[in-house]
Every structure is written in structure tokens, then in C-alpha cells.
Amino acid sequence: ADFASWYDGHPDVPRTWDLSAEKVAVLGVGNVALDIARILAKTADELLPTEIPPNVHEGLKANKAVEIHVFGRRGPAQAKFSPMELRELDHSPNIEVIVNPEDIDYDEGSIAERRKNKQTDMVAKTLENWAIRDIGDRPHKLFLHFFESPVEILGEDGKVVGLRTERTELDGTGNVKGTGQTTDWDVQAVYRAVGYLSDELPKLPWDTVSGTVPDQGGRVMEGDAPMPSTYVTGWIRRGPVGLIGHTKGDANETVANLLDDFAHGRLLTPETPEPEAVVTFLEGKGLTYTTWEGWYALDAAEKALGEPQGRERVKIVEREDMLRASGAID
């Protein structure tokens, strides 16, 4: 998450990142893992057509990574990549995507998943095609490993010197079991991209096992009754699972129930319902805020910075600079 915040230009993280590792491990087989692997494997200039911030572009020029190893503990049918994100990896002239033919394996549960889910089948077919082709000569190698469960990060003098994994095998249901066979991989950095538990929020019910707020249709549930005017969506509702499409569906359901509660008078009545009360509240606390018009001003400022370079925009990273461009401060 820290690395993603760095290359996305989050204003509250450091502006530099240690990219001295030549061989890197990424744990996880979802789109976030793919994104991390792509950033590490592409050249800095390949990313210029994107909204990459200037400090990230400069940092990636010094990137030493030439081998990226992505690890999943289950098989191709259980990978959570979206087909388009996966195929995009192979479009780079600098990235050779490599899949071990021995990692192409399916059990009854895997086959059933492919039959009922078109995206799963498309991902599996892409991985199969990569597994049977000859390895080319593109300079950066990106290995997609399956049936390898991380066991231990190996360290020496406070630095990563390797990753130990245990070989797994399918159990018939699409899940896996360990075989006891381990492998030590020569890597100097490890990135974790296997989902995250959300933080518990005060005054809300909490499921300590799933790290979510109990809900029904997005309505926060306190026991058997919904809490008044309280709703959740996203990972705080279901945990770190699913693609953006799933999250959109959850959000649609939550908002539909919120509007239904509004229409039937089930929402709490605000003491100051006029829209201007929001601004009064923020100003009363001495908080700096950005208006919708300010967002458009920031958008225009970023596009203006990108125009001389032939880019769609150059992202403004520093918080004060963003506030200044949006007119929130002088």
C-alpha cells in the first residue's frame, strides 16, 4: 500500500522510494499485484503517457529491477486478475511475461469455476498461451508463479535476501494443500498485495474476524436492527475482495437503500439542513476545504502543466500546491 501511494502521488507519503533491488517478489494474484509488477517492470519513459507524477518518473529512472516474480498460492483458475489488466502486461516491448507450464493445473473445482465465470476462463486461457510459448529476449522478465505459498522472508543484516515458498497442490475443490516441498527464491525486496483489513471505527459495530462493519444491503446493522442514517460500501462492507465492478454494484445497492430510506422518512432529521451549513461547519473548525469549482481549477492546472510536454496532464502532488491551484489558499 505504501508503494502504491508513492507511485500514485499521494500527498502524505515520502517523495522517494528505494528501487535498488534487481530481483523483486510480489505476493498476490489480483490487479493490485499486477499494477505493482507493471510499475516495477516497465521503464520510466513507458509510463509517461500516464498521470505519473514527476518525482515518481525521476525515481523510476533509477529502478534496478530486471526480474519480477509474482506469487500465488493457488492456481490459474483462482487468480483474481481481470483479463484486460493481465493481457496489458505483455504489450510492453520491455517485459517478457513467463509462466511455468507445470503451473497450469486444474481440478474439478477449478473447471467448474471456469465454466461459470467467463473472466476466469479468459484469464486461464491467457496464462495457458504464455506457458507454451518460447521465452523471448525482452530485457525485463516478469514471472507469474502459481501453487507457491509464501512461508518466510529471508533476511541478512536487516536486508531481504530471499523468499521461501511451499509448493501447494489442488485438493479437488479449487482450494490447495501444502506438499512440504519448499523453494528459496533469490530476491532483494518483497511487496505484499494480498488485501488488507480495514480499521475499526468508533461507535460502529465491528466483525473482528472479517474486518468489516455488519450490514444488510449497505445499511449498518446493530444486532437485528439497522442503525439510523448509517451506511457502508467498499472493503469496509465486504472485505478486500472483488474487482471494481463488484464494488460498483455494492455502492449502487447501498445508495439505492439510502434513497429508499430518505423517501420513506427513515433518515435522521438534521438540525441545519441547508447546504451552506457544511461550509459553516468546516470554517468553524478552521479547516481548509476545496469546492467543486476548485476541483475543476486543479484539473485545469494539471492539464496546463502537461501541455508543453505533450502529456494529458502532470499530476500535482504536494498538498499545499493542490490547495493553491484549487483556490483554497493564496
Please enumerate in sequence order all residues whose Cβ is within 8 A of that of 20, keeping only pairs 6 or more positions apart, or say none.
Answer: 64, 188
Residue ranges per structural domain of the chain: 2-192, 276-325
Q: What is the DSSP letter of 38?
A: H
Give dist(CA 36, CA 56) in Å, integer.
13
Give dist(CA 69, CA 269) in Å, integer.
54
Q: What pLDDT is recorded for position 243?
A: 66
Q: From the centroid of its chain, how far is CA 105?
A: 26
pLDDT, tens only, 162-202 = 999 999 999 999 999 999 999 999 999 999 998 778 889 89
pTM of the predicted structure, to 2 decimals: 0.88
pLDDT, tens only, 41-90 = 999 999 999 989 999 999 999 999 999 999 999 999 999 999 999 999 99
Whether 53 and 93 have beta carbons less than 8 Å apart is answered as no
Topology annotation, domain 2-192: FAD/NAD(P)-binding domain (3.50.50)
Number of other CB atoms surrounding residue 263 within 10 Å: 9
Cα dihedral across residues 36, 188, 55, 13: positive or negative: positive
Give dist(CA 300, CA 307) in Å, integer.
11
Q: What pLDDT is recorded for position 293?
A: 96
Assign 167 to helix, strand or coil. Answer: strand
Residue ranges of the chain with pLDDT lower than 50? none
Q: What pLDDT is recorded for position 37?
A: 97
Burial track 208-237 (b if 16+ CB lie within 10 A, e otherwise): eeebbbbbeebbbbeeeebbeebbbbbbbb
Angle at CA 25, nearest 5°, toward 37 and 70? 55
